[in-house]
Structure 1
Amino acid sequence: MANSKFEYVKRFEQPDQLLPNTWIVVRLDGRGFTKLCAKYGFEKPNDRRALELMNMAAKAVMTDLPDITIGYGVSDEYSFVFHKTCSLFERRASKLVATTVSTFTAYYIHFWPTCFPDVPLSSPLPSFDGRAVCYPSVQNLRDYMSWRQVDCHINNLYNTTFWTLIQLGGMDAKEAEKALAGTLSADKNEIMFSRFNINYNNEPEIFKKGSVVFRDYELVEPGSHIVAEEADDLAEPVQQSKTQQETDKKRRAKARVLVDHLDIIKNDFWDRRPWLLSNKPGKIPKQT
């Protein structure tokens, strides 16, 4: 309804468009998850069920939002990368964040009974918040992803050692915290191996590296593409026809969405998956 005397309130709305021709990362975090973990008795230092639940929700989000090219998750956080060509919601931060966070939250609650069949949810229900950040270059984007994976390693090594001292060493939280004060990575590895015969290298990859979500296409030989340079050299994204957009959308829909626990810091991961940066769907792997 137009021309109402109340329509003036629209003037209070402020533009919140994200920068054009940049990678958009929507990073979400669990709200009050320390209390939630205690409420539902999550295992320490890592609860495999909780991590699988996060991954199931992330896969569903990536399936629903084809503009997402890759996701990375650890603990109660997930980062979703929207390609530079993304025009979803006219690149408005509020809508992009709200849609990503609400979709993730809905699937998290939906899949809860699958991962926690004997632990029904009760109020207050799990929820997430989020923010959107623009990164202008491939290197900026990769440095962001590397930062999250390095952070995963640092936090998991500390938490694993901390809870080992409590669960197997008989310490309380204050004693374990004091024992680890000022220690380096090598020190923590030595504590676990010498005192408890635990080799941190044998810990599950999902704990050490976090989870990477992406569409499954045929891998290419490293060095056969120069996608990163091409993406950075474009002054503005190449405009596709509606026919090409629909074709690419269908090819993405056919691709299987995978969750894996890989090193995303080294070049090999990106070199063998050029579609992550080119926004051009790859070849669907042949069924075996």
Structure 2
Amino acid sequence: MSGGFLCGCLMPYLHGLLKVAATAGLSRCSRKTGGVRRGFFWDLPHVRAQSRKTMAKSKFEYVRNFEADDTCLQNCWVVVRLDGRNFHKFADQHGFKKPNDERALQLMSKCALTVMEELNDIVIAYGQSDEYSFVFKRKSNWFKRRASKFISHVVSQFSSSFVFYWQDYFKDQALLFPPGFDGRVVLYPSNQNLRDYLSWRQADCHINNLYNTTFWALVQQGGLSNSEAEEKLKGTLAGEKNDILFLEFNINYNNEPEIYRKGTVLIWHKIEETIDKRITTPDAPEGKNVVVKRTRNKLLPFHMDVIGDKFWEEHSQILADS
């Protein structure tokens, strides 16, 4: 008989065997001497496809109906704000400097940079103290705009980076226990809403830092107890705190580092760089080094005012997504 005739006769029979094998769940077979190996039937694409189809339509699939629909509204800026959980305790037990520890702030920004490099749809991030806000493109369709995906990816990437890079910034301080971070998603429908949100966070940075700078000056240089310093600052306005700093401790708050007063803004910024590149030419078949200039986007940290118009005029690409 010809090979074609045999194939024509046997193919329906083989397909029937494969169908029975898939239904019976014959996926693997084992050897006593060689452990577990892939079975003949499972290695065939027909059975793999049939198995996937069977599992996808199992009687247990109804449980998917319990999942809440958390799709973020279209045409809105998606902001994920991340905060340290119980970070006062964490800072105390890890010897953070008061009122500000630049190591901790730099570590937070490093983690935020890592998040932005991994999740490309983030156009700007703003951080201060133990919090960071990440702004996703207004038209982003990342993970079908599911809020749970936004939160879980940002928080998990940030948290793991915090532990991973800890020793780079706290060389003499071991990590005693893992930090905790929580996150929330907030939608802002207009460019002005987004600007107002970031302005609010920066104003909060200024208010908190002015208070903390004054409080710790009273404690560390003025000799007051924590409760005495709290009592002295109760009900004081910004101008009065500035007077305490200047008149009692000769500290001009406006001269404090901007990273403390204004927080950190992370944006993609076009930079020009020069690199050496080796090329071959008819005149130099063995190759020669040439200087090449190129422009590329790079994530950079800035410590500047985001409340006024100047920042947004200089970086108009951030809102251009709208």
Task: Provide TM-score, normalisation by structure 1.
Answer: 0.83
2:244 to 182, 186, 191: 191
Is 1:203 paired with 2:256? yes
The answer for the alignment partner of 1:283 in structure 2 is none
The answer for the alignment partner of 2:162 in structure 1 is 108
The 5-angstrom pairing of residues 84-99 of structure 1 reads 84-99=138-153
The alignment partner of 1:266 has SS state of coil
The alignment partner of 1:6 has SS state of helix
* Amino acid of the structure 1 residue aligned with 2:301: V
State the percentage of identical aligned residues: 54
Deviation of 1:31 after TM superposition, in Å, equals 1.1
Deviation of 1:122 after TM superposition, in Å, equals 2.9
C-alpha contact 2:270 2:296 (8 A) present in aligned 1: no
The answer for the alignment partner of 1:69 in structure 2 is 123
1:165 to 192, 195, 218: 218
* Amino acid of the structure 2 residue aligned with 1:276: I
The answer for the alignment partner of 2:88 in structure 1 is 34
C-alpha contact 1:69 1:279 (8 A) present in aligned 2: no
C-alpha contact 1:24 1:134 (8 A) present in aligned 2: yes
C-alpha contact 2:77 2:136 (8 A) present in aligned 1: yes
- State the alpha-carbon separation in 1 of the partners of residues 241 and 68 from structure 2: 49
- State the alpha-carbon separation in 2 of the partners of residues 67 and 4 from structure 1: 36
* Amino acid of the structure 2 residue aligned with 1:270: W
- State the alpha-carbon separation in 1 of the partners of residues 253 and 68 from structure 2: 50
- State the alpha-carbon separation in 2 of the partners of residues 265 and 128 from structure 1: 27
Stretch moving more, 55-64 or 72-81? 55-64
2:190 to 130, 133, 137: 137
* Amino acid of the structure 1 residue aligned with 2:157: T
The alignment partner of 2:59 has SS state of coil
The alignment partner of 1:217 has SS state of strand
Is 1:14 paired with 2:65? no
The answer for the alignment partner of 1:276 in structure 2 is 318
- State the alpha-carbon separation in 2 of the partners of residues 105 and 166 from structure 1: 32
The answer for the alignment partner of 1:239 in structure 2 is none
Deviation of 1:127 after TM superposition, in Å, equals 2.1
The 5-angstrom pairing of residues 210-229 of structure 1 reads 210-217=263-270
The answer for the alignment partner of 1:285 in structure 2 is none
For structure 2, the residue ranges without an aligned partner over 5 or more in a row are 1-54, 272-294
The answer for the alignment partner of 1:261 in structure 2 is 303
The answer for the alignment partner of 2:174 in structure 1 is 120
* Amino acid of the structure 2 residue aligned with 1:267: D
**Structure with higher strand content:** 2
C-alpha contact 2:94 2:176 (8 A) present in aligned 1: no
Map Cα deviations across residues 187-244 of structure 1 (whole Å, 9 max, x no partner): 00100111111111110000000000001127xxxxxxxxxxxxxxxxxxxxxxxxxx
Deviation of 1:254 after TM superposition, in Å, equals 4.2
State which structure, 1 or 2, has the greater radius of gyration over its C-alpha atoms: 2
- State the alpha-carbon separation in 1 of the partners of residues 56 and 269 from structure 2: 47
Deviation of 1:165 after TM superposition, in Å, equals 0.2
* Amino acid of the structure 2 residue aligned with 1:202: N
- State the alpha-carbon separation in 2 of the partners of residues 2 and 150 from structure 1: 51
The alignment partner of 2:150 has SS state of helix
